[in-house]
Amino acid sequence: MKRAIVMVGLPRSGKSTRAKEIHKETGYPIVSGDCVRLALHGERFLEPAEVIIHPLVLLMARAILLNHDGVIIDECNVTQARRDRWIYGLHDCRIIFDVVNTSMEVCIQRASNEQDKQLVPVIKRMNSSYQPIKEE
Whether the pLDDT of residue 133 is over 60: the answer is yes
pLDDT interval class at 48 (50, 70, 90): confident
Task: In whole angstroms, give the CA distance from residue 121 to residue 64.
Answer: 33
Contacts (Cβ under 8 Å, ≥6 apart) of 30:
19, 20, 23, 71, 72, 74
Whether the pLDDT of residue 125 is over 60: the answer is yes
Please tell me the class of the 3-129 domain. alpha beta
Task: In whole angstroms, give the CA distance from residue 73 to residue 28.
Answer: 10
User: Number of C-alpha atoms within 13 angstroms, CB side, residue 9?
Assistant: 23
| pLDDT tens-digit readout, 7-38 | 999 999 999 999 999 999 999 999 999 999 88
Residue ranges of domains in the chain: 3-129
* Predicted model pTM: 0.92
